[in-house]
Amino acid sequence: MTTATDTTILAFDMGASSGRALIGRLTSGSDGRRKLEVTEIHRFPNHAIHVGNHLHWDVLRLLHEMKKGIRLAFQGGYEPSTFGIDTWGVDFGLLDANGELLGNPYHYRDSQTEGLIEEVNGLIGQEALFRQSGLQFMPFNTLYQLYAMKKAASPKLDIARTLLLTPDLLAYLLTGIKSCEFTMATTTQLFDPGAQAWNAELMDKLGIPSRLFLDPVHPGTIIGPLSPEVTSELGVPAMRAVAVGTHDTESAIAAVPAGDDPFAFLVCGTWSLLGTEMSGPLLSNETMELEFSNEGGIGGTYQLLKNIMGLWLLQECKREWDEKGNEIGFPDLVRMAEQATPFRSLIHPDDPRFFSPGGMADKIRAFCEETKQPIPESEGEVARCILESLALRYRQALEQAEKLTDIRYGGLHMVGGGIQNKLLCQFTANALGRPVWAGPIEASAIGNMLMQLVALGQCKDLREARRLVAASFPIDVYEPEAAANWVAAYEVFIGFGRV
C-alpha cells in the first residue's frame, strides 16, 4: 500500500434534482492512520426542462456548473490532480460524425417510452430479454428510449455516430475523449452480463444502431486530461479525468463500510436501491419474477438489487405544496410525520401511478381510497404514509433478496442523502426487526473519490477503500422498536399484492 499525505481529488456527484462539486483530501495523521476528508465547494440545481411534449436534461447548464466547480477548486487553493463524475443511470447524448452533441438528452421520466416494455417483450420474449440483460423491466431503461426514437423515425439515430451515457458525455465535453464506463453500460438493458459485451443481436432486432456503442472501460481507469480549450478557458492545469463507478448507485455501494462477509445495502435518495453485492449476475427466472436487477459493480462485482420509488414521493409532494405557497422544510415535514397517527394509511411505493411527476399527494389519497383505507389529509399524514410504506417495502425487498441468495443478513447498511431522515432510518429498523447501520451520507461522492484513489495507487482495491471509509466517517446505529405493530402493518402492506 502506498501512503499519502494531502492527496487531493475532485468529485462531481449529479443527482436528479441537484449537482455538487466536492473536494476529497486523503491525509495521514501523526499516528500514520489515513482519513478521507470531504468538503463541498459548489452546489447547483438540476431541473428537468419541458420542451413541447418532451422532458429533457439541460446538459449544457450542467457543463457550465461543472466548469465553475473546477475553477472554484483551484481558486480555493486545493489543486486536485484528478476528477471523477457520477450521475443517475440510463440517460444518454448522441454525437454526430464531427463529435457535436445532437440536442439535449431526454429525461428518463419522459413519456415517450410508455407501453414499450410490453411491445419489446412481445418481440424478444420476456425471459430471453432478462437472460440477455439481467435488468428489471423499467420504462426508462436506455433500450426503451432508443426503441422509442426508432419508432418515431428520429433522424438523430441516422445522423449519430456515438452514444455517450450521461457521465461519459460530461467527461467528453471537458476532455474531448470519448469513453464508456462499465457500471453505466450495464444500466442500459443492451449489455449482456453473461457475454460481458454489448448485445448487437438484440440491437439489430430492434433497429438500434450497434455502431453507437464504445467498448466499456472499468472503474479506476484514467481517461485523460482536460482539453486545451477547457484549461485555457478556466486558467487551470490539465488535471485528469478518471472513470469512477460513474453510475451513482455503484459509487454509493463502493462506499458501504462493510466487512468481508455478505451484506445487504440500501442506497437511499430520490430512488431507493436495495440489494446485495455478488461475484456475478443472477439470471434465474425467479430473479426476473421478483423484479430484481443485476447491475455491474466495481472490481468485477455485480449488484443484485431492486429499484424502489424512494423519497421521490415526498420530494414531489413538497414541491407541490411549495408551489401552492405552503412551503414546509423537510425537517418540519419529518417532525409532522412523527406526530401523525401510526399506520393510519399505507401505499405501495412502486405503484405505476407514482412514477410521473405531478399531483403526487392526490395520487396517494386515491390509492388509499381505492384500498379502503382512511385518506391522509394533512401534510404530516401524507408524509407518515410515505415513510412507513417505504420502510415496509424495504422489508419486502430484503426478504426477497434473501430468498434469491439463500443468505440471511444481520441488518441493513443504509447510505446516501436519505439517511439524514432519521425517522425513515428508525422506521426501517422497526420494519425489518433488525439493526440499520446508517452512513456515510455522501456515499456517491465518496465512492467516486475512492476509485480515483485506486486509479492513483493510493488504495489497493475496493476492500482497502472500504476500510478507509470506516475509518473516516461516523455510522449511526438504529435498533428495532415496536416490533409487533410493524409486523401487523406488514401484513396489510403485502396484501396490496405487488412483488
164, part of any domain: yes
User: Are residues 279 and 353 both part of a single domain?
Assistant: yes
Do the Cβ atoms of 24 and 37 come closer than 8 Å? yes
pLDDT of residue 5: 53
Cell 475496493, located at residue: 462
User: Are residues 331 and 412 both part of a single domain?
Assistant: yes
Q: What percent of the chain has pLDDT over 70?
A: 99
In this structure, the strands spanning 436-438 and 412-415 are: parallel
| Whole-angstrom distance, CA of residue 149 vs CA of residue 122 | 18
Q: How many domains does the chain have?
A: 2
| Whole-angstrom distance, CA of residue 190 vs CA of residue 206 | 11
Q: Looking at the predicted structure, is the pLDDT value of residue 17 above 70?
A: yes
Cell 450495464, located at residue: 186
Do the Cβ atoms of 293 and 271 come closer than 8 Å? no
Which residues, including other chains, have CB under 8 Å from residue 323's CB and lie 6 or more apart? none
287, part of any domain: yes
Using a 10 angstrom Cβ sphere, with 0-12 exposed, 13-18 middle and 19 or more buried, the burial of residue 344 is: middle
447, part of any domain: no
User: Are residues 343 and 286 both part of a single domain?
Assistant: yes
Q: Which of 194, 216, 243 is the last residue of a domain?
A: 243
Phi, psi at 66, each rounded to 5°? -65, -40
Do the Cβ atoms of 16 and 9 come closer than 8 Å? no
User: Are residues 318 and 380 both part of a single domain?
Assistant: yes
User: Are residues 215 and 358 both part of a single domain?
Assistant: no
| Whole-angstrom distance, CA of residue 344 vs CA of residue 97 | 58
Structural domain span for residue 315:
257-439+475-498
| 363 grid coordinates | 395520487
Using a 10 angstrom Cβ sphere, with 0-12 exposed, 13-18 middle and 19 or more buried, the burial of residue 317 is: buried
Q: According to DSSP H, which parts of 406-482 are helical?
A: 422-432, 443-455, 462-472
Q: What percent of the chain has pLDDT over 90?
A: 95
DSSP letter at 239 equals P
Predicted TM-score of the model (pTM)? 0.95
| 302 grid coordinates | 455485480
What distance lies between CA 423 and its chain's CA centroid?
A: 22
pLDDT tens, 113-149?
A: 999 999 999 999 999 999 999 999 999 999 999 999 9
Cell 439463500, located at residue: 406
| Whole-angstrom distance, CA of residue 277 vs CA of residue 71 | 37
Mean pLDDT of 331-359: 96
Do the Cβ atoms of 295 and 305 come closer than 8 Å? yes
Q: Looking at the predicted structure, is the pLDDT value of residue 57 above 70?
A: yes
User: Are residues 286 and 210 both part of a single domain?
Assistant: no
User: Are residues 281 and 206 both part of a single domain?
Assistant: no
pLDDT of residue 4: 42
| Whole-angstrom distance, CA of residue 397 vs CA of residue 459 | 33
337, part of any domain: yes
pLDDT tens, 24-50?
A: 999 988 777 999 999 999 999 998 999
User: Are residues 217 and 81 both part of a single domain?
Assistant: yes
75, part of any domain: yes
Catalytic residue among 13, 110, 168, 248: 248
Q: According to DSSP H, which parts of 296-414 are helical?
A: 312-323, 330-339, 360-370, 379-405
Mean pLDDT of 243-270: 96
Where does the pLDDT of residue 23 fall: very low under 50, low under 70, confident under 90, or very high at 90 and above? very high
Where does the pLDDT of residue 498 fall: very low under 50, low under 70, confident under 90, or very high at 90 and above? confident
| Whole-angstrom distance, CA of residue 64 vs CA of residue 48 | 16
| Nearest to 391, CA basis, from 353, 342, 326, 357 | 342
| Whole-angstrom distance, CA of residue 107 vs CA of residue 94 | 14
| Identity of residue 463 | R
Which residues, including other chains, have CB under 8 Å from residue 241's CB and lie 6 or more apart? 82, 83, 84, 85, 171, 174, 175, 177, 222, 223, 224, 225, 226
pLDDT of residue 1: 36
User: Are residues 271 and 405 both part of a single domain?
Assistant: yes
Q: Looking at the predicted structure, is the pLDDT value of residue 312 above 60?
A: yes
DSSP letter at 217 equals B
pLDDT tens, 261-307?
A: 999 999 999 999 999 999 999 999 999 999 999 999 999 999 999 99
pLDDT, mean over the chain = 96
User: Are residues 182 and 149 both part of a single domain?
Assistant: yes
Question: How many angstroms separate the Cα of 90 from the Cα of each of 31, 55, 105, 394?
Answer: 44, 15, 11, 23
| 233 grid coordinates | 478557458
| 163 grid coordinates | 452514444
29, part of any domain: yes
Where b means 16+ CB within 10 Å and e means fewer, 60-90 reads ebbbebbbebbbebbeeebebebbbbbbbbb
| Nearest to 302, CA basis, from 275, 278, 284 | 278
User: Are residues 288 and 190 both part of a single domain?
Assistant: no
User: Are residues 216 and 116 both part of a single domain?
Assistant: yes
249, part of any domain: no
Does the active-site annotation cover 158? no
Do the Cβ atoms of 157 and 150 come closer than 8 Å? yes
295, part of any domain: yes
| 5: number of Cβ within 10 Å | 10
CB-side neighbour CA atoms (13 Å) of 238: 10
Q: According to DSSP H, which parts of 89-165 are helical?
A: 116-124, 126-133, 142-151, 155-159
CATH code, domain with 49? 3.30.420.40
pLDDT tens, 147-200?
A: 999 999 999 999 999 999 999 999 999 999 999 999 999 999 999 999 999 999
The full length of the chain comes to 499
| Whole-angstrom distance, CA of residue 465 vs CA of residue 459 | 6
pLDDT of residue 32: 78
